[in-house]
């Protein structure tokens, strides 16, 4: 992973500027999945345009994706997948989206990213 992007992502997750949500990169209520926070950083870096409303769900899509990272964000961040895998403290392999959606806090998700990506 690009180390500068990683630092920005961890800082954003720990900043308190984003409210955590589940099941979408960004909800209409301005809640974010941890992956949605990375998409917002990509918007700020002008890698992708801002999120646009989804047609049938109460969420926003970034570059056509509403649940996982779009290709331009993957490339910019130096990742190799739409939903990076991590191992949670009980040694279970999971993805960042699953960790986010099973109520791990942004602080806990930031710790996983810091240690494993």
List pLDDT tens digits, range 71-112.
999 999 999 999 999 998 888 899 999 999 998 999 999 999
Per-residue pLDDT reduced to its tens digit, 39-70: 999 999 999 999 999 987 799 999 999 999 99
How many domains is the chain built from? Answer: 1
Residues 6+ apart with CB under 8 A from 98: none
pTM value is 0.96
Residue 65 CB neighbours (<10 A) = 18
Whole-number pLDDT of residue 55: 80
| Range(s) of the domain holding residue 22 | 3-116
Residue 8 CB neighbours (<10 A) = 17
Whole-number pLDDT of residue 90: 83
Whole-number pLDDT of residue 103: 82
Whole-number pLDDT of residue 112: 97
Tokens of 10: 């961890």
Start-end of H helices in 19-70: 34-44
Of 25, 27, 47, 50, give the one whose Cα is nearest residue 36.
Answer: 25
Mean pLDDT of 31-43: 98
Whole-number pLDDT of residue 91: 85
Whole-number pLDDT of residue 82: 97
């Amino acid at each position: 992973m690009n180390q500068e992007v990683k630092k920005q992502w961890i800082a954003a997750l720990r900043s308190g500027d984003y409210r955590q949500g589940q099941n979408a990169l960004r909800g209409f209520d301005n809640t974010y999945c941890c992956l949605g926070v990375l998409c917002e950083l990509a918007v700020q870096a002008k890698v992708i345009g801002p999120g646009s409303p989804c047609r049938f769900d109460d969420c926003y899509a970034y570059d056509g994706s509403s649940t996982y990272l779009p290709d331009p964000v993957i490339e910019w961040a130096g990742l190799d997948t739409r939903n990076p895998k991590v191992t949670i403290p009980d040694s279970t392999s999971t993805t960042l989206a699953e960790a986010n959606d099973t109520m791990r806090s942004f602080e806990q998700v930031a710790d996983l990213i810091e240690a494993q990506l």
